[in-house]
Amino acid sequence: ARWRGVRLAEVLRRAGIGGHAVDVLPRGLDAEVVSDGTNLGRVRRPLPVAKALDDVLLAYEMNGEPLPPDHGAPVRLIVPSWVGIANIKWVGDIEVSAEPLLSPWNTGLYRLFGPGYPAEGSAPLARQTLKSAFELAPGASFAAHRRHLLTGRSWSGGAPVRSVEVSTDGGTRWRPARLRDESRPGSWVRWSSDWVPRETGPGVLLARATDRSGRSQPATTAHNTQGYLFDAVVRHPVTVV
């Protein structure tokens, strides 16, 4: 999607945000959330003021058209590089506070819980991780001894994607993929790689990205109970016939 809107920073400055502001809390107009019999209220998730005044957009257009209802009309937040919950839809009001603000979406939810984390969980999640995905259904079939074009996308919340590698033999050998987009902060990049499978039977494709900070996708990632921020290389099963 291509978004158009006004920077949240401009709205906050025109509203007279003060120098003591700490958190900015956009609240959606969607229905109140009830979980296990507890009313959590409308979806809301505070942003640190430094992020709110940086690159956050109050979007009212998507791909040159008025924002569709399913995507948050009339106005939604776009918070580049951050986890999805920060991108509040159907924005109804915005609270600014000189004290840290809490909601279910940055306390019991959207923290890392499990072995290796404090009982209260990690700090609230912010930046997205480094990820890659094939544009391909799991279990897809490929004809042996023919050239195939593998395509996919990679993205990173930390820095623009610098390179992508692809393995067609389960991770024994890796080769560079071709980047098909200019790599930008906060955005995915498309890539492609040719493959001529030689042997029939089950196979595994893998893709791993490296961003300009030098970070690469690991082979495994530490477990957390809610499955957030998964960044490991994904094994993509295919069949050669």
Domains 3-106 and 131-240 share a fold: no
Q: Distance from first CA to last CA of the chain, Å, rounded?
A: 36
pLDDT in tens, 30-50: 999 999 999 999 999 999 999
From the list 197, 177, 87, the residue with the least C-alpha distance to 132 is 177
- pLDDT, one tens digit per residue, over 199-208 is 999 999 999 9
The single residue listed with the structure tokens 């700490």 is 22
Domain ranges across the chain: 3-106, 131-240
Query: Which option is the CATH number for 131-240: 3.10.20.440, 2.60.40.650, 2.20.130.10, 3.40.50.720?
Result: 2.60.40.650
Phi-psi region of 186 (alpha: psi -120 to 50; beta: other; left: phi over 0): left
Q: Which residues of 211-226 are buried (b: 16+ CB within 10 A; e: fewer)?
A: beeebebeeeeeebee
DSSP H helical segments within 66-106, as ranges? none
- Retrieve residue 199's tokens: 């042997």
Select from 167, 204, 206, 211 the least CA-distant residue to 186.
211
Q: What tokens appear for 165 in the block?
A: 């590698």
Per CATH, the homologous superfamily of domain 3-106 is Oxidoreductase, molybdopterin-binding domain (3.90.420.10)
Instruction: Write the pLDDT tens digit of every residue in 180-216.
Output: 999 988 788 999 999 999 999 999 999 999 999 999 9
Predicted structure pTM score: 0.87
Is pLDDT of 111 > 90? yes
